């Protein structure tokens, strides 16, 4: 078995791992990534454009505002933009969301890789960490060396003074490696898909597959305005993805009601008044003047409204403002942008060092911190990487 001595071993090669390597000064960092290349998931974020952060990202966008808030205060979105600027990456802002100027995630990955290497980081791919044990002066990592087909072709024992778990989750073909730290005494909440399409009763979406609407979606008190994409199994689109967090976090459950407000800019009385004012027009003409024809037909059906007759303003307004669907769950992790769950955050200090096993750190999705769409989860990756890098740079 080959032996390797390193200063800081980082398990994972995603956004948080690379940012940590780019930020950590004065210490030699070695990244151990299972895949053939680092940053694979980063390349798919924001539909390949990489929404780096959002200027309005706040603690309230996360499942644990009390914990996430402190890190966001120390490393807010403005500092993330400044950090990437210091790496030579120009950014642009669209609707409050920050993207690389190229609108290509590969630019972000290239900037992080160059910065990590400039800092002297070693990046080793096809390395699967299978166990982490506490040693007298640090940690021992049992590492499998993988071949082109993922088969084990060798093994290494890595000795490190500190270890950083930055493996993310099993969202979008990722991998859950929190067991490496639960074996050291940590606890974790089981991962559940978040920012993921919702499954609903089929009757409510019958005939609507592929139709997009701008509306407000609500689930268990969480209301999100944005686009909904009807699917034959339920709802996708940014508004549906955001409210899926309520199910992932255990607030919502199967059988709860998802409500769509199809005219969110109008009150119920304003909606009713608008329909009532369309004198001389059939319900069909009124509804198709507002919505896609298939949505119009479903609204009329729900309201018990014959399309060829004069509109019943009150009945139609009730359905328009409250089109309900019954929640049946979510799609699986392969369609999730992020997972809700991970290592218990109270077991880590404000530098994200374990209070159970000193010298062990965790960043990014490995921790039980998940945010909404709009750059929240990458902002957490940068902020958590900064906290751990700052702590280890001073160690």
Q: What gap in Å lies between CA 62 and CA 370, rounded to an integer?
A: 6
So what's the pLDDT on residue 170? Answer: 65
Give the HSE-up count for residue 374: Cα atoms under 13 Å, Cβ half-sphere. 20
Tens-digit pLDDT string for the chain (395 aa): 789 999 999 999 999 999 999 999 888 899 999 999 999 989 988 889 999 999 999 999 999 999 999 999 999 999 999 999 999 999 999 999 999 999 999 999 999 999 999 999 999 999 999 999 999 899 999 999 999 999 999 999 999 999 999 997 766 555 678 999 999 999 999 999 999 999 999 999 999 999 999 999 999 999 999 999 999 999 999 999 999 999 999 999 999 999 999 999 999 999 999 999 998 999 999 999 999 999 999 999 999 999 999 999 999 999 999 999 999 999 999 899 999 999 999 999 999 999 999 999 999 999 999 999 999 999 999 999 999 999 999 87
> Which three-class secondary structure state does DSSP give residue 148?
coil
Residues ≥6 apart with Cβ < 8 Å to 203: none
How confident is the model at residue 115, as a pLDDT?
Answer: 97
pTM of the model: 0.93
CA pseudo-torsion sign 45, 47, 50, 56: negative
Length of the chain: 395
- Closest of 342, 329, 48 to residue 169, by C-alpha: 342
What is residue 348's DSSP assignment?
Answer: B
pLDDT reported for residue 351:
97
* The pLDDT of residue 172: 54
Helices (H) and strands (E) in the chain, counts: 12, 18
**The residue to which tokens 């500190």 are assigned:** 162
| Residue-wise DSSP of 203-229 | GGGTT-TT-EEEEEEEETTEEEEEEEE
- Can you read off the two tokens belonging to residue 352? 């994200």
For residue 71, what is the enclosing H or E element? helix 65-74
């Amino acid at each position: 078995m080959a032996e390797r001595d390193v200063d800081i071993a980082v398990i994972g090669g995603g956004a948080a791992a690379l940012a940590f390597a780019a930020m950590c000064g004065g210490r030699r960092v070695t990244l151990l990534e299972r895949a053939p290349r680092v940053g694979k998931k980063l390349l798919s974020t924001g539909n390949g454009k990489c929404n780096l952060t959002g200027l309005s990202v706040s603690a309230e966008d996360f499942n644990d505002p009390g914990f996430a808030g402190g890190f966001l205060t120390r490393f807010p979105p403005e500092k993330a933009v400044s950090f990437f600027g210091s790496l030579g990456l120009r950014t642009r802002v669209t609707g409050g969301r920050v993207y690389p100027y190229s609108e290509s995630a590969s630019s972000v990955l290239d900037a992080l890789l160059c910065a990590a290497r400039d800092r002297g980081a070693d990046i080793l791919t096809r390395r699967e960490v299978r166990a982490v044990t506490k040693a007298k002066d640090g940690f021992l990592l049992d590492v499998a060396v993988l071949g082109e087909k993922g088969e084990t072709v060798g093994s290494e024992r890595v000795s490190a003074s500190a270890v950083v778990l930055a493996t993310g989750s099993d969202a979008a073909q990722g991998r859950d490696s929190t067991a490496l730290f639960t074996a050291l005494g940590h606890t974790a909440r089981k991962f559940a898909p978040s920012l993921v399409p919702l499954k609903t009763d089929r009757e409510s979406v019958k005939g609507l597959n592929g139709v997009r609407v701008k509306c407000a979606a609500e689930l268990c008190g969480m209301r999100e305005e944005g686009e909904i994409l009807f699917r034959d199994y339920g709802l996708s689109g940014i508004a549906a993805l955001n409210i899926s967090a309520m199910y992932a976090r255990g607030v919502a459950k199967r059988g709860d009601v998802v409500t769509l407000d199809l005219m969110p800019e109008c009150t119920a009385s304003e909606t009713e008044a608008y329909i009532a004012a369309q004198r001389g027009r059939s319900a069909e003409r009124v509804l198709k003047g507002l919505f896609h024809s298939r949505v119009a037909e479903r609204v009329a059906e729900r309201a018990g409204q014959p399309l060829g007759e004069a509109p019943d303003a009150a009945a139609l307004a009730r359905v328009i403002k409250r089109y309900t669907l019954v929640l049946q769950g979510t799609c699986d992790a392969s369609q999730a942008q992020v997972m809700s769950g991970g290592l218990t955050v109270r077991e880590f200090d404000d530098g994200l060092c374990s209070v159970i096993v000193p010298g062990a750190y965790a960043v990014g999705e490995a921790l039980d911190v998940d945010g909404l769409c709009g750059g929240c989860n990458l902002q957490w990756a940068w902020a958590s990487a900064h906290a751990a890098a700052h702590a280890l740079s001073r160690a």
